[in-house]
Amino acid sequence: MIEKRKREELYNKFRQGAVPSGADFADLIRSQLNLLDDGIDISENPDDPIGLRAHGMKENLLDFSDQENRRRWTISGRCEDESKEGLNVKADENSKLYIERESGNLGLSTDQPTAKLHIIQTSATNALRIDDEGNDRTPLIVTSDGQVGIGLDSPGAKLHVSYNGIGDILRVDDTEDDTTPFIITDTGNVGMGYSDPKAKLTVNGGVSIGKDYNPGDKNLYVEGNVEIAGSFVLSGDSEIGGFVINAPITSMTEEVIIKDNLRIIPDPGGSGKPASDGSLSVAGDTTLGTYDKVPANQNVVTINGQIRSGGELGDEQYELVVNDILTVDRNTQTPKATVKGVLSVIGTSFLGNNQVGDYIYLNGLVKREDEKDVTIDDNLTVNKNTKLNTLTVGAKAELHEAVVGNDLTVTKNAKLRDAVVENNLTVNKTANLNNVNVGQGLTVNGDASFNTADITSLKLRSGATVNNLSTDSTLAGNSNQSIPTERAVKQYVDNRVAGVKIVYA
C-alpha cells in the first residue's frame, strides 16, 4: 500500500548504500507534490507567481489544517451554491469571507453579498466596530441588533451620534454641490436645502406630513391635526401671506376664541386665486360680546352695511331671531319684525317707504320714558284702537278710534273720528270732529265742524267760551257760554212771532 512518508523516513530508505524497493519509490512519489496532479502551475515567466488550479465543482484551491491534520479552513473559487465566481474563505463549510469576482461585493458571513460590504450577524457580538488610534472614543459601531453608534460604543437608538467637537454633526450634499440637501449643525439645528440653518428646523421647499403629497414650494400640508399650545401668528399683507381655510375651524372641546379684531374684506383675486366677496356665513348660534356682561364703551356689533337674513320669502330656516327679543319673520308674504321689550333709537328712525300700505301698529301706550310730552313734528294718522298720552303734532293729525289720555295739540288741521281726548284738545287750524268726546276744553283757531261731539268746554277764535249746546226754545238761560241749536232758535222765533199782535193803521 502506497503511503505518505515523512522526510526522515525517506532519507533512511534512500541513504547511501541502501537498496530501496519499488514500494519505497512509490512512497517517495506519493509524499511529493506533482505539478499536474496537484494543480500547481509554475510559469516560465519569472515575474508570474505559482498558480493553483481549482479542484471539483466548488473549485477548491487550498485547505488549511491543524497539527492533527483536521481541516479548518478552505479557500475556493465559487460560492456554496456554485452560482457565482468569487474568492470564498470557508470554515466548516460556512462562508466567512467572500469577494464576488464580477461585482467586487464583499460578504462577511455570507457568500451572496448585495452591497459593497454585506455583513450577516451570526452571534451576539457587534456587527461592526471601528476605533480610533487612541482607542479612547469609538468612532463607529454597529451592534448585533442593528443599532448604529457614532462616537460611542453603546448606542441607545437605531442611529445614536455623540459629539462634542466643533463643526457639523451630519451633512449630506448633492453631486452638484449647489444646495445642501440635509445638515445637522453642532448646535442641533437641522437644515434641509440650507447649509447654515438658523433655527432648529429650517426647510427650503414644501413639507408634507402624513401623506405622500406635493403641497408646492414653501407650503405645508398636514394629513392629521395641528395642535398649537401657544400663539399662532400670521404675517403678510393683503397680497402676501394670509390664512386660507378649506375646512371647519373647531377647538374640538371648547369655543374658538379670537382676542383681537377680525376683519373680513372682499378679495378681487389674482393669478391662481379666485375672487371673494368677503362674506361671513354662520350656520349655528352666534354670540357677540362677553358671556356675562358688556364692558363699558365696548361695541358689540358695528355694521356699516345691510343686515340680511338670507333666503327667499317663505323659507322658514332664514328667520332672524335675536335672543327672543327681536324676531324678523320672512315666512310669509308680509314679512314682519317683532320686538319684545323696550326699543330705544338714538337718532332718526324711518318707518315705511312712503307707500299707502305702510302701517305702524301700536298695541300699547305711546309715551316718553321721562313722562314728558310726546311731540310729533309731522303729520300723524291713527286708524285703530290706540292709547296715547299727552301728544303734540307739529303738522296735520288724523285720529280714528284713538284715545288720548291727556292733552292733544295739533299745529295744523285735525280730523278726529270715534276718538276720545280726556283733557284739552287744541287745533290751530281747521278741526273736523265726528263722534268725539273731549273731557275738558276744546280750542279751535280756525273753522270747526262737529258731528256728534261731546265737549265740556268750547273756546272759539273770537275768545268766547262755549260750554253748552242748548235745545231750550225759550232761551231762558240767557247765558254767554251756551249756543242754542237751530231748532231751538226756530221755535223761539216762531213763538215770538206768534205772540205779536198786528195793529193796522
Q: Per DSSP, what are the bridge partners of residue 149? A: 141, 160
Q: Look at residue 296 and give its three-state secondary structure.
A: coil
Q: Return the residue matching grid coordinates 356665513.
A: 281
- What's the pLDDT at 103? 93
Q: Considering only residues 144 and 361, tell me which one the structure prediction assigns the higher pLDDT.
A: 144
- What's the pLDDT at 355? 60
Mean per-residue pLDDT of the chain? 78
- Judged against a pLDDT cut of 70, whether residue 274 lies above it is answered with yes
- What's the pLDDT at 358? 63
- What's the pLDDT at 116? 93
Local confidence band at 54 (pLDDT 50, 70, 90 cut-offs): confident
Q: Return the residue matching grid coordinates 519505497.
A: 24
pLDDT digit string (tens) for 108-139? 989 999 999 998 887 788 888 888 877 666 78
Sign of the CA dihedral with 2 first, then 3, 7, and 9 last: negative
- Judged against a pLDDT cut of 70, whether residue 328 lies above it is answered with no
The CA–CA distances, whole Å, from 430 to 116, 160, 374, 446 equal: 119, 106, 22, 5
Q: Show Cβ contacts of residue 446 under 8 Å, excluding neighbours closer than 6 positions.
A: 413, 427, 428, 429, 430, 431, 461
- What's the pLDDT at 135? 65
Weakest-pLDDT range from 164-168, 218-222, 366-370, 412-416: 366-370
Q: Considering only residues 361 and 470, tell me which one the structure prediction assigns the higher pLDDT.
A: 470
pTM for this entry: 0.38
Q: Look at residue 78 and give its three-state secondary structure.
A: strand
Max Cα distance, the chain (Å): 233
Q: What is the mean pLDDT of residues 91-107?
A: 91
Q: What is the mean pLDDT of residues 332-345?
A: 70
Q: What is the mean pLDDT of residues 297-315?
A: 64
pLDDT digit string (tens) for 416-469? 888 888 888 888 888 887 788 888 778 888 777 776 667 767 666 655 666 677
Local confidence band at 334 (pLDDT 50, 70, 90 cut-offs): low
3-state helix, strand, coil in the chain (%, to 5): 5, 30, 65
Local confidence band at 106 (pLDDT 50, 70, 90 cut-offs): very high
Weakest-pLDDT range from 216-230, 304-318, 486-500: 304-318
Highest average pLDDT, of 140-154, 195-209, 326-340, comes from 195-209
